[in-house]
Amino acid sequence: MVGAEALSLVKDYIEKHGGIAGVVSEFEKNGFGQQVRSWVRPQLSCDPEQVRQTIGLVKLKQMANQFGIPVDKVTEQLAKYIPAVVDKATPEGKLPT
């Protein structure tokens, strides 16, 4: 998966989950509030297991089918790029309204 495909995957996930605020909320509900809040300020990493727990295997499989890539690659790419996207979307350290 190259950068453009990964960006498309992450963008699709964010758009379908209520934007940045929805993504943050989803991770917070699944016990990863500290991590997701750190993406709004200094970053902590996100690992594929946290993505699996937050998004769920059914949704991840749907995304994998949509993009024609294995589920483990979907979780790796989301874990890698979601923190960076949240960070870039919150330059003042605040969630968009």
Which residues span the domain enclosing 74? 3-89
Within 13 A of 4's CA, how many CA atoms are on the CB side?
0
Within a domain: 96? no
Within a domain: 94? no
Within a domain: 34? yes
CATH number of the domain bearing residue 21? 1.10.10.690
Q: Which three-class secondary structure state does DSSP give residue 68?
A: coil
Q: What are phi and psi of 46, to 5 degrees?
A: -130, 135
Residue 52: the pLDDT is: 94
Where the chain has pLDDT below 50, the residues are none
pTM of the predicted model, to two decimals? 0.65
Domain count, the chain: 1
Residue 1: the pLDDT is: 55
What token pair was written down for 28? 């917070």
Kindly report the number of other CB atoms within 10 A of residue 88's CB atom: 10
